[in-house]
Each structure stands twice: as C-alpha cells, then as structure tokens.
Amino acid sequence: MNVEPSDRSWFRAFHRGFLLEGYTLTLVRGLSPRTFLDRLGAAPQGDVTGFDAFVARDRDFQDDQEEWGDRMFVGAALVRGRDADWVLALEINGGIEIQTDSMERVTAGTRGVSHFRSPNAMSLFSWWEDGELRTRFEGPLHRDGSTPDELVDLMRHVGFDIEGGGCDVEDYIALAEELTGVQVTPDMLEHSAYSTGIVEIPTADWTSVVIDVTDAHGTRTYVELPHPTHEQRTHEQR
C-alpha cells in the first residue's frame, strides 16, 4: 500500500482500524531495537517478522495474563528517518510510556516521541529530549512538560486546531513525523522485523487515569478512568 507523504488517513484503515482500538507508537533516535529493549528493562522474547506475526505473539502473551496491566508486550524495529536511524516501538494498546519512568532512561542522550490511544479513548502525545519530558498533551489546549508551548507553531503547521482544542490521530502522526523525520507507513508496520520483549509494570502505578482539565472559561472537567480489563485488551475484529 503506497501513500503520499501528506496522506496519513491510512492509519484508520490499517487492518480495518485495528490500531484505533488501542496502541502506543514510540520513536527514539539512534538506538538499535536491542538497545531500546535493554533500556526499557524488557525481558527478550525473540524476533518476529511482519505485523500479523507480532499481533499473534501479542495475543498469545495476553492470553497468558490473568489480569491486564502487570506486564506489557512491545516490539521494536529499526527504521530510517530523514537524517538518522530510529527505533520504532509498537504496543497493542500498551502504555509503557505513561505507566513507568522508562522514557527518561530510553531517551537519555537522544530524542523520543510517543503517541498513545487507550481502549477508553484516552490519547496522549509526548516529546522527550535527553531524558526530559518537554511537552505532553491530550488535547492541544492543555499542555505540560518543561517547555509546554514550544511546539505550538509546529502543531498549527501540521493541522492542530489549537484554539478549538481538537485533534485526531492524523495530527499526532504528522507531529511525530515533523519531530523525527520518520514517515511511518502501512508497509513499514506490515513488513518490519520486530525484536520483542516483556516489560514488568508496577501494578500500584496503574489503577486508573485521572483527567483533570480546566478550560479557558473556567469550567473544570474531572474524570477518573479505570484501567482496561483483559476483555477490552482483546481484539477480535481482525
């Protein structure tokens, strides 16, 4: 499946929208897949080639878990950006980046970006430099990190509605591409060789997610979302 550089709508159609049910996609500059997994502290689980094989291995892993959240399965592949090699890490649902301090270790001395969508429809974008969280947001109106406003012009450039607060997965993909020089494509996900590993997650760190936002009019939204169940983690539509 060939796509134009400006066409990112493929993500919604990829495997009939499979990843929209929940994914984490991370890019880190200059690391090999093995180094990435080592920095995560992942227990190696061997290599697989192709998206179908990766998903099958993830499904076997999930079937062996009694409760979702104690461990995460991740695959890492070497990809090429405009000026450097990057590691592309994929999780089905996942959430290693927001459940541990792993990105501090993984991005030491380099750059990383990650975008995430959960089965509860929560989504996040994160930009890291040398172990420091520079910008993180769900909607573009409310940003945190050490430099929460540094990406605003670039966000507008790629299509974010900053004032209206709207964004979608295509915006996340476009912003990640600008920050990394990596054009993620369906062929890349479909045919990459993934080195896989399992990351232990401290259960106490992930019982729920709290969204606490006050908008420009002073209206506060406070929602606590429980972590997904094993059933929510299981994709049956493929």
Contacts of 193 (CB under 8 A, 6+ apart): 47, 48, 49, 77, 78
- Count CB-CB contacts under 10 A for residue 43: 12
Domains of the chain by residue range: 10-207
Output phi, psi for 67, to 5 deg.
Answer: -145, 135
Residue-wise pLDDT tens digits, 78-119: 999 999 999 999 999 877 887 768 899 999 999 999 999 887
Residue 25: is its pLDDT beyond 90? Answer: yes
Neighbouring-strand partners of residue 43? 198
**pTM of whole model > 0.75?**
yes
| pLDDT of res. 4 | 44
| DSSP state letter for 205 | G
CA angle 128, 82, 124 (to 5 degrees): 30
Contacts of 153 (CB under 8 A, 6+ apart): none
What is the mean predicted confidence (pLDDT) over 173-183? 96
Residue 2: is its pLDDT beyond 50? Answer: no
| pLDDT of res. 5 | 42
Closest C-alpha among 133, 132, 176, 139 to residue 154: 176
**Token representation of residue 36:** 């990435």
What is the mean predicted confidence (pLDDT) over 130-139? 94
Distance CA 132, CA 151 (A): 15
Type of residue found at 32:
S
**Helix or strand holding residue 92 (H, E):** strand 85-92
Greater confidence (162 vs 230) lies with 162
| pLDDT of res. 207 | 47
Neighbouring-strand partners of residue 87? 28, 78
Distance CA 222, CA 211 (A): 6
Residue 45: is its pLDDT beyond 50? Answer: yes
